Structure 1
């Protein structure tokens, strides 16, 4: 078993092809160990090369609304009155700590998404 670091797209493709060959390896064999190591190397390479940033808070809320089939009015228990819901979704008002807590506990939106800084829309309507 000769394993090298994955540094290029070619290395990545070669490692993926090797994983295909090893996929059905019996547990506790040299092939299974090689498979485990290659998976770890590929995960590290892909995390560094193809990093996907978490969505900003407003996008995270909109995504969860889409997933759950929620309307703006369904956010009133989490954000307050309808006008406040509109202000948050239109980036006119920032989330407060109590809003973040309610969104996290009620809609299970990850805290790391809700506490991210984001731009407000300062244009006048």
Structure 2
């Protein structure tokens, strides 16, 4: 499978894709907002299916957002559990209100550090609270 990369053929396809999606390193707040909308649409489409063809785009757009946020919206150093506790408090949620990540027992183990969040749970929390998945990693 070591076929030579045909850049002359690739560039027009890339330009068409880039023009249609605006997927590129994030330049400003307006572009950040578009990429956040793009990520939400991709997450809605993939429904957490790791084998969905759009999962590669989820990873790429998520990385672009994460890079921009790290530079322009730095958060104080917190753990994913601290972020989850904060968001639960802000939204008035109890452990039993987070059924999308597991039973009340599973949530309790996560909050006490006995269990780590898995990728499905991180995505569910990201969607629920409208924050980057990086918040919980």
TM-score (norm 2): 0.43
TM-score (norm 1): 0.47
Instruction: Name the structure with the higher helix share.
Output: 2
Q: Which has the larger radius of gyration?
A: 1
